[in-house]
Structure 1
Amino acid sequence: MPIVVDIDVMLARRKMSVGDLADRVGITPANLAVLKNGRAKAVRFSTLEALCAVLDCQPGDLLRFVGAQDEELADLS
């Protein structure tokens, strides 16, 4: 998938659990898991804003684009 979700990285940096983040953002742990695991088809800007506010980060810290070339290089290693 060309969009990679790095919520795990920010959770580790902030030493925060998924349940705690879900509570603070105001979404269910199940919905956060769907987003965190890259299975979400969309994310609301209000949810992204809340994630950034709670994690004290920018949207680019949570989402990144991985092009086809990057995926091919990753498959080779």
Structure 2
Amino acid sequence: MGIVINLDVELAKRKMSVTELAAAIDLAVANVSILKNGRAKAIRFTTLDAICQVLGCQPGDILGYTPDK
């Protein structure tokens, strides 16, 4: 899949844990972990909006695209 999720990088930049982010956006820790590890198949815009608000970033900071080989 060509979509890359860089949530782990953004969390590391802010020295924030998955647990802290999950509490801040009112989402289960397991669901944030799935996003962080790149195993998510979809993300709601409301979730993406909440993550961007908490981390102070743009959606493009979290999501990237790498063409399949």
TM-score higher than 0.5: yes
The answer to whether 1:51 aligns with 2:51 is: yes
1:33 is displaced (CA, Å) by 0.8
With normalisation by structure 1, the TM-score equals 0.85
Distance 1:14 1:36 in 2: 14
1:38 is displaced (CA, Å) by 1.2
The answer to whether 1:11 aligns with 2:11 is: yes
Distance 1:66 1:44 in 2: 21
With normalisation by structure 2, the TM-score equals 0.95
- Give identity over the alignment, percent: 55
Unpaired runs of at least 5, structure 2:
none
SS at match of 2:24: helix
Higher RCO, 1 vs 2 (CA within 8 Å, ≥6 residues apart): 2
Partner of 2:42: 42
Amino acid at match of 1:18: V
Structure (1 or 2) with the greater helix fraction: 1
Distance 1:13 1:36 in 2: 14
The 5-angstrom pairing of residues 21-36 of structure 1 reads 21-36=21-36
Count of aligned pairs between the two proteins: 69
Amino acid at match of 1:15: K
Unpaired runs of at least 5, structure 1:
73-77
Question: Which of structure 1's runs of 4+ aligned residues deviate more than 3 A?
Answer: none
Query: In terms of Rg, which structure is larger?
Result: 1
